[in-house]
Amino acid sequence: MKSRNLILLILLMVSSSIFGQEKINNIELSIGNSKDFFENVYVKDLESHQRKTLKDGFYILENSSQKGKFEIKNELINGDIVLYEGESYRKEYAIENSKIITLKIYHNDLLETDAFRANNKLNFKSYNDQNRLTKEGFVSLNRQAHYKKGITKSYYKSGGLASVENSILGINTRYYENGNKMEVHGKSYEKYNEDGTLGTKQYTKEGVFYVENYYKGKLSSKQYETKDKEEVTLVYDHDKFIRKEIIKNVDGEKYLYKYSPNGEFIEKEKYYAPGKVTSP
Asked if residue 43 has pLDDT above 90, the reply is yes
Does residue 237 carry a pLDDT above 60? Answer: yes
Q: What angle do CA 89, 91, 95 make, to 5 degrees?
A: 170
Q: Using CA of residue 26, residue 31, residue 34, residue 40, what is the dihedral sign?
A: positive
First to last CA, the chain: 124
Is 68 strand, coil or helix? strand
- If you average pLDDT over every residue of the chain, what do you get? 90
Instruction: Tell me the residue type at 5.
Output: N
The residue type at 11: L
Rounded to whole angstroms, the Cα distance separating 184 from 202 reads: 10
Q: What is residue 252's predicted lDDT score, i.e. its pLDDT?
A: 83
Note the pLDDT of residue 123: 98
CA distances from 55 to 67, 71, 77, 134, 213 (A): 19, 10, 11, 43, 68
Res 108: pLDDT: 93
pLDDT at 1 over 70: no
Predicted confidence at residue 9, as pLDDT, reads 40
| 226-237: b (≥16 Cβ within 10 Å) or e | eeeeebbbbbbe
- For residue 123, which of 105, 160, 150 has the smallest C-alpha distance? 150
Residue 256 has pLDDT above 60, yes or no: yes
* Whole-prediction pTM: 0.82
Task: Inform me whether the pLDDT recorded for 151 exceeds 90.
Answer: yes
